[in-house]
């Protein structure tokens, strides 16, 4: 009976919840975290400060930020038995597979993480542990991929510097932290920190609505983010730009492919379910790409190809009619590449940034005691029929 059920596949016109965390205006291209414009936070804040803002709802005082940051620093080490699980992965394993597995595995090491206790102390402990250990595990996935020795975190470094140290240092030589790169990492993580009810955040909320653990819910969110239509797009964009470069740099050929309904190829990094105008994050990242490459003295031909592709698409009726603009994933890979982060790690960087958003949304859903998510359907299968013994089939 479908009298009372309306199907809205992809939830294009369905509001799943009420939330006070992030505001998007798709027509105007506006993004605000707890009311603060993304443009101001990207330029003036730090990732941990934005994480605190998203999770606790206010900009922290210096004392609150110091306590949050010090607590995270104290929990960056990962249980040695997690390393044993880690050592079982083949070096060619995709980092997102390792990340989602190990984040879920943390529930086996920390009973507080699966406790129904929603006291501030227990929630804060789970938040701190997850914020602290994800970067360590993320850096390990890179070292595993490269066949390099894993690095332990250093408590004398701040969040972004520590992540870079764990990613790129070797026991055999001194590692210099580049402030330009630290600033770029902070800005990129801020820009990815939350985005209201996107696919991976909706996944975290749905899994969490069953009173599942924060770690298990985030592990599910990591898998949703890995999808090439979602966070996985940042890896696809650079691979697309490299394919255009190998093909001689003719962007018009790829624009034609993207418009051809018989060709599954899409212009990765373009289009958005909500933004029908420029993704404000893409504007900031595009400017940052120029700044970072100039500061590092790098000229990447992919940046020029990306700019040409953007210009071509923004004037082509197919894209204009459908209001397809560059999204957050279109330029981010250019910066990751300039920093030395390989394409397989791009979506891990997205997950690192999105973690506080997932945490804030899971926490809000639980604090609001939202019911378990259980949508209905319109049944289109066989009607009532009798079982037939196998010899009669
Ligand atoms: C992220 O939701 C979020 O907030 C996500 C995110 C976040 O911060 O969490 O912003 C992060 O996931 C950004 C999006 C990254 N994905 C990509 O860049 C992959 C390429 N883009 C698309 O596949 C697509 O645009 C989506 C998935 C982003 C949005 O898909 P929708 O809203 O379901 O739109 P659609 O697929 O129905 O497209 C509408 C029309 C279609 O053409 P018609 O059937 O009307 O003729 O636009 C076309 C599509 O074929 N189209 C594209 C296109 N994107 C849409 N055609 C060519 N290239 C594209 N990139």
> What pLDDT, on a 0 to 100 scale, did the predictor assign at position 1?
44
Do the strands 36-37 and 30-33 form a parallel or antiparallel pair, or are they unpaired? antiparallel
Nearest CA to ligand 1 atom 14: 230
Closest of 289, 236, 292 to residue 267, by C-alpha:
236
Ligand 1 site, residue 357, Cβ cutoff 6 A: no
Nearest CA to ligand 1 atom 20: 268
Residue 199 C-alpha to ligand 1 middle, in angstroms? Answer: 12
Q: Give the position of tokens 């958003």.
A: 357
Instruction: Count the alpha carbons within 13 Å of 124 in the hemisphere toward its beta carbon.
Output: 10
Residue 200 C-alpha to ligand 1 middle, in angstroms? Answer: 15
d(CA 357, CA 354) in angstroms, rounded, equals 5
b/e per residue, 170-207, with b = 16+ CB within 10 A?
eeeeebeeeeebbbbbbbbbbbbbbbbbbbbbbbbbbb
Gyration radius (Cα) of the chain, Å = 22
> What pLDDT, on a 0 to 100 scale, did the predictor assign at position 86?
87
Ligand 1 site, residue 333, Cβ cutoff 6 A: no
> What pLDDT, on a 0 to 100 scale, did the predictor assign at position 116?
84
Of the residues 94, 194, 279, 329, only one is catalytic, namely 329
Q: In this structure, are residues 325 and 279 in contact, taking their beta carbons and an 8 Å threshold?
A: yes
> What pLDDT, on a 0 to 100 scale, did the predictor assign at position 91?
86
Residue 370 C-alpha to ligand 1 middle, in angstroms? Answer: 29
25: β partners: 30
Q: Both tokens of residue 246?
A: 């190998």
Residue 56 C-alpha to ligand 1 middle, in angstroms? Answer: 31
Ligand 1 site, residue 322, Cβ cutoff 6 A: yes
DSSP string, 98-166: HHHHHHHHGGGT-GGGG-----HHHHHHHHHHHHHHHHHHHHHHHHHHHTPPP----TTS-HHHHHHHH
Q: Can you say whether the dihedral through the CA atoms of 50, 51, 56, 62 is positive or negative?
A: negative
> What pLDDT, on a 0 to 100 scale, did the predictor assign at position 2?
52
Catalytic residue flag (residue 272): yes
Residue 73 C-alpha to ligand 1 middle, in angstroms? Answer: 38
Q: In this structure, are residues 103 and 141 in contact, taking their beta carbons and an 8 Å threshold?
A: no
Residues in the chain: 393
Ligand 1 site, residue 195, Cβ cutoff 6 A: yes
CA angle 33, 157, 185 (to 5 degrees): 40
Q: In this structure, are residues 95 and 344 in contact, taking their beta carbons and an 8 Å threshold?
A: yes
Ligand 1 site, residue 257, Cβ cutoff 6 A: no
Residues in contact with 7: Cβ distance below 8 Å, sequence separation at least 6, in sequence order: 377, 378
Ligand 1 site, residue 191, Cβ cutoff 6 A: no
Q: In this structure, are residues 230 and 214 in contact, taking their beta carbons and an 8 Å threshold?
A: no
Of the residues 94, 195, 272, 279, only one is catalytic, namely 272
> What pLDDT, on a 0 to 100 scale, did the predictor assign at position 3?
65
d(CA 310, CA 306) in angstroms, rounded, equals 6
d(CA 82, CA 71) in angstroms, rounded, equals 21
Ligand 1 site, residue 83, Cβ cutoff 6 A: no
66: β partners: none
DSSP string, 1-29: --TT----GGGTT------SSEEEETTTT
Residue 356 C-alpha to ligand 1 middle, in angstroms? Answer: 24
Residues in contact with 142: Cβ distance below 8 Å, sequence separation at least 6, in sequence order: 95, 167, 341, 342, 345, 348
Ligand 1 site, residue 332, Cβ cutoff 6 A: no
In a mutational test of the pocket of ligand 1, which residue from 263, 272, 353, 361 has the highest number of ligand atoms less than 8 Å from its CB? Answer: 272
Neighbours of 23 (CB within 10 A): 15
Running along the chain, 393 residues long, what does each successive block of 10 average in pLDDT?
80 96 96 98 98 98 98 96 90 94 96 89 96 97 91 95 97 94 97 98 98 97 96 93 94 94 94 93 95 94 94 92 94 95 95 98 96 94 96 96
């Amino acid at each position: 009976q479908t009298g009372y059920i309306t199907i809205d596949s992809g939830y294009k016109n369905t509001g799943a919840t009420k939330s006070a965390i992030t505001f998007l205006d798709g027509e105007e291209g506006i993004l605000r975290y707890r009311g603060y414009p993304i443009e101001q936070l990207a330029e003036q804040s730090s990732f941990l400060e934005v994480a605190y803002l998203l999770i606790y709802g206010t900009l922290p005082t210096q004392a609150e930020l110091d306590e949050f940051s010090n607590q995270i620093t104290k929990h960056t080490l990962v249980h040695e038995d997690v390393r044993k699980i880690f050592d079982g992965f083949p070096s060619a394993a995709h980092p997102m597979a390792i990340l989602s597995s190990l984040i879920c595995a943390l529930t086996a090491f920390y009973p507080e993480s699966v406790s129904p206790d929603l006291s501030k102390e227990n929630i804060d402990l789970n938040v701190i542990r997850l914020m602290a250990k994800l970067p360590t595990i993320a850096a390990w996935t890179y070292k595993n991929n490269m066949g390099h020795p894993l690095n332990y975190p250093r408590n004398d470094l701040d969040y972004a510097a520590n992540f870079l140290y764990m990613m790129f240092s070797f026991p055999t030589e001194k590692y210099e932290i580049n402030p330009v790169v630290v600033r770029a990492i902070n800005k990129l993580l801020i820009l990815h920190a939350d985005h209201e009810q996107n696919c991976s955040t909706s996944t975290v909320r749905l899994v969490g609505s069953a009173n599942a653990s924060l770690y298990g819910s985030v592990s599910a969110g990591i898998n949703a983010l890995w999808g090439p239509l979602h966070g996985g797009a940042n890896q696809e964009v650079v691979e697309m730009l490299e394919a255009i470069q190998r093909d001689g740099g003719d962007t018009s050929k790829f624009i034609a492919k993207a418009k051809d309904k018989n060709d599954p190829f899409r212009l990765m990094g373009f289009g958005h379910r909500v933004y029908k105008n420029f993704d404000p994050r893409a504007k900031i990242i595009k400017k940052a790409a120029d700044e970072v490459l100039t500061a590092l003295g790098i000229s990447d031909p992919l940046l020029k190809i990306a700019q040409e592709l953007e210009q071509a698409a923004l004037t082509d009726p197919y894209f204009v009619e459908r209001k397809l603009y560059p999204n957050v994933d279109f330029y981010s890979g250019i910066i990751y590449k300039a920093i030395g982060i390989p394409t397989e790690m791009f979506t891990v960087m997205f997950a690192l940034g999105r973690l506080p958003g997932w945490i804030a949304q899971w926490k809000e859903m639980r604090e609001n005691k939202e019911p378990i998510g259980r949508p209905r359907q319109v049944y289109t299968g066989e009607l009532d029929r009798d079982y037939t013994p196998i010899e009669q089939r």
